[in-house]
Amino acid sequence: MTVLVTGGAGYIGSHTVLALVEAGESVVVIDNLSTGFSQFVPEGVPLFIGDAGDENLVDGVIASHRVDAIIHFAGSVIVSASMRDPLGYYRNNTSTSRSLLSAATRRGVKNFIFSSTAAVYGNPDRIPVGEDAPTRPLSPYGRSKLMTEIMLHDAAEAYGVNYVALRYFNVAGADPLGRVGLATEGATHLIKIAVEAATGQRSRIDVYGTDYPTTDGSCIRDFIHVTDLAEAHGAALGYLRAGGGPVTLNCGYGHGYSVFETIDAVKRVAGRNFAVAAASRRPGDIMTMIADTSRIRRTLDWIPRYDDLDTIAAHALGWEEKLLRQRQAVELQAIPA
């Protein structure tokens, strides 16, 4: 039995592939490398460079690798970009998922794990937010993901697709052994920006909104270490193979940190100071986002190992320093002797 991972060369996908391989799974990856990196796919794991929505490609991979489960990460991930190009997001997130599901059902692959997002909730009425809260996404990105959740629900009813939709909260950190991490150029994630400032690649960090009615005026987020999230996918796979039924699960730790607290954690672990500037609110930002984690803890055999903001910040920083050293080595080589 083999697990097909779409988007396995990307940030979360590559950590999950590592976790699956370490757990003894046979894995195959489809990735078009639009934001992923072939070197993130471990040796011995076949990588098919192509589109996860290419039904012929998916058909062939399922048949040739005896795929019994699909973990679907492939997609576009930047909220603000989805505002500028909604149709691009509906194509690459919603249409791609439809084609992938179509190939899966045709080939009889029943087990499906989907990368959804806390962005499906929009501004929650209650914190922590539970899976049954109303879904009112504020962006095409969130809507493109919610549409896929709805398709999964309908495909479960009609064709017996067995799925876990994982709604990720704020994913951060990097592989503790430094093998993979967030390498996407122009990434907008808070901790990534903060470690770029801590390593001198940015002169300062802007805090988008300091007048929210929160403890210190900045937004609050529930950060989950990417390695814990990767292991949640392994647990979801075990759940489905053991006959667990369709379910939607929040992936977070259930507690939040403000933007200022998060920046302070990065400064603390780096032992370096950098400039922090108050800036106006970023359109579409949700004030406070914290997961109710009771369902995932009840449903999956999953015990997070890195539920600590300083650890998340330290692993993100370690990875950023490695990236920087690699970039400097390449630049040195480019200097004529």
Ligand X SMILES: O=c1ccn([C@@H]2O[C@H](COP(=O)(O)OP(=O)(O)O[C@H]3O[C@H](CO)[C@H](O)[C@H](O)[C@H]3O)[C@@H](O)[C@H]2O)c(=O)[nH]1
Ligand Y SMILES: NC(=O)c1ccc[n+]([C@@H]2O[C@H](COP(=O)([O-])OP(=O)(O)OC[C@H]3O[C@@H](n4cnc5c(N)ncnc54)[C@H](O)[C@@H]3O)[C@@H](O)[C@H]2O)c1
Site string for ligand X, 255-274 (x = CB under 6 A): ----x---------------
Which lies closer to ligand X via its Cβ, residue 162 or residue 293? Answer: 293
Q: How far is the CB of 137 from ligand X (least distance, A)?
A: 10
Rounded to whole angstroms, how far apart are CA atoms 3 and 48? 13
Task: For residue 30, state whether it binds ligand X (rule: CB under 6 A).
Answer: no
**Among 55-63, 73-81, 190-198, 301-309, which window interacts with ligand Y (CB under 6 A)?**
73-81
Q: Are the C-beta atoms of residues 46 and 9 closer than 8 Å to each other?
A: no
Task: For residue 149, state whether it binds ligand Y (rule: CB under 6 A).
Answer: no
Q: Which of 100, 129, 207, 249 binds ligand X (CB under 6 A)?
A: 207
SS3 of residue 270 by DSSP: helix
Q: Which of 2, 102, 105, 184 binds ligand Y (CB under 6 A)?
A: 184
Task: For residue 206, state whether it binds ligand X (rule: CB under 6 A).
Answer: yes
Which lies closer to ligand X via its Cβ, residue 59 or residue 285? Answer: 285
Which lies closer to ligand X via its Cβ, residue 79 or residue 240? Answer: 79
Rounded to whole angstroms, how far apart are CA atoms 208 and 278? 7
SS3 of residue 81 by DSSP: helix
Q: Choose the contact partner of 90 out of ligand Y, ligand X, none; CB within 5 to 8 A by kind.
A: none
Residues 29 to 58 in contact with ligand Y, rule: CB under 6 A: 30-36, 51-53
Q: Which of 92, 135, 148, 248 binds ligand Y (CB under 6 A)?
A: 92
Q: Which of 168, 212, 239, 274 binds ligand Y (CB under 6 A)?
A: 168
Q: Are the C-beta atoms of residues 111 and 241 closer than 8 Å to each other?
A: yes
- Amino acid of residue 42: P
Rounded to whole angstroms, how far apart are CA atoms 313 and 223? 10
Task: For residue 77, state whether it binds ligand Y (rule: CB under 6 A).
Answer: yes
Which lies closer to ligand X via its Cβ, residue 64 or residue 80? Answer: 80
- For residue 28, give both structure tokens: 């195959």
Task: For residue 12, state whether it binds ligand Y (rule: CB under 6 A).
Answer: yes
Residue in 11, 89, 121, 141 annotated catalytic: 141
Residues in the interface with ligand X (CB under 6 A) total 22
Comparing CA positions, the residue from 145, 165, 129, 169 lying closest to residue 246 is: 165
Active site residue 141: yes
Rounded to whole angstroms, how far apart are CA atoms 272 and 279? 22
Task: For residue 224, state whether it binds ligand X (rule: CB under 6 A).
Answer: no
Which lies closer to ligand X via its Cβ, residue 215 or residue 328? Answer: 215
Three-state secondary structure readout of 205-241: EEEECCCCCCCCCCCEECEEEHHHHHHHHHHHHHHHH
The CB density around residue 148, as the number of other CB atoms within 10 Å, is 25
SS3 of residue 3 by DSSP: strand
Q: At what angle do helices 96-106 and 55-65 cross, to 10 degrees?
A: 40
Q: Are the C-beta atoms of residues 229 and 17 closer than 8 Å to each other?
A: no
Strand 67-72 to 275-279 pairing: unpaired
Active site residues: 141
Residues contributing to the site for ligand Y (CB under 6 A): 6-7, 9-13, 30-36, 51-53, 73-75, 77, 92, 96, 115, 117, 168, 170-171, 184
Q: Where on the chain is the footprint of ligand X (CB under 6 A)? A: 77, 79, 117-119, 168-170, 188-190, 193, 205-208, 219, 221, 259, 282, 285, 289
